[in-house]
């Protein structure tokens, strides 16, 4: 699990927002390649080939690395480590246990969502595990028709309740974009 690149370059003066410039390596999205899926607002989890559950965890520079932590990537820009912590010791363990009682499709990554995760913006009644790449049938046509340019995506995302979009290229590359990556429009006077 490596950090998915953001479709547009982050503003160096305001890292919370993006500029209308494609991140190098993500040009394929603007070219119309790949499948668009919904980005869910939860926390990433992994069911490995041995049937063990893991929670995604970022460790900031100078902080202790948790026991059993599996480092996947070092973010050169922020200095953070990105990796997996055993679910049993994660702060999400209790909520994951509730969600894991439901059917999962086998090894892979899932988004843990629900009432105690990130303020539950999608208003789930209980905790659930959503396979990454899943799009509800009722949203599929809308997400597939999303524009792929800066201005179009900004208007499209600001007009919808989705956290964002993740594009999946057939060769395994991915790119993402969140609604909050865009600066809010200036109020009209």
- Pairing mode, if any, of strands 70-74 and 81-86? antiparallel
Q: How many CB atoms lie within 10 A of CB 8?
A: 24
Q: Where are the domains of the chain?
A: 8-181
Q: Is 167 helix (H, G, I), strand (E, B) or coil?
A: strand
Q: Which residues pair with 59 in a beta bridge?
A: 81
Instruction: Indicate the helix (H) or strand (E) that contains 146.
Output: none
* pLDDT confidence bin for 185, thresholds 50/70/90: low
Residue 95 predicted with pLDDT over 70: yes
Tokens describing residue 77: 């820009």
39: Cα separation from own chain's centroid:
6
Alpha-carbon dihedral 117, 42, 120, 78, rounded to 10 degrees? 80
**The 3-state secondary structure of 6-66, one letter per residue:** ECEEEECCEEEEEEEEECCCCHHHHCCCCEEEEECCCEEEEECCCCCEEEEEEECCCCCCC
Alpha-carbon dihedral 41, 42, 48, 51, rounded to 10 degrees? -130
* pLDDT confidence bin for 100, thresholds 50/70/90: confident
Q: What is the mean pLDDT of residues 144-160?
A: 95
* pLDDT confidence bin for 55, thresholds 50/70/90: very high
* pLDDT confidence bin for 184, thresholds 50/70/90: confident
């Amino acid at each position: 699990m490596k950090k998915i690149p953001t479709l547009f370059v982050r503003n160096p003066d305001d890292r919370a927002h993006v500029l209308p410039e494609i991140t190098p390596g993500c040009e394929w999205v603007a070219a119309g390649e790949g499948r668009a899926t919904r980005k869910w607002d939860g926390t990433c989890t992994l069911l490995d080939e041995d049937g063990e559950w893991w929670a995604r965890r970022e460790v900031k520079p100078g902080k202790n690395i948790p026991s059993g932590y599996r480092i996947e990537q070092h973010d050169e820009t922020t200095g953070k480590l990105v990796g997996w912590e055993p679910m049993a010791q994660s702060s999400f363990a209790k909520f994951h246990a509730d969600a894991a009682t439901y059917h999962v499709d086998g090894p892979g990554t899932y988004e843990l969502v629900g009432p105690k995760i990130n303020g539950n913006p999608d208003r789930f009644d209980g905790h659930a595990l959503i396979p990454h790449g899943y799009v509800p049938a009722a949203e599929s046509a809308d997400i597939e028709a999303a524009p792929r340019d800066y201005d179009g995506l900004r208007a499209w995302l600001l007009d919808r309740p989705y956290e964002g979009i993740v594009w999946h290229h057939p060769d395994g590359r991915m790119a993402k974009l969140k609604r909050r990556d865009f600066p809010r429009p200036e109020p009209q006077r």
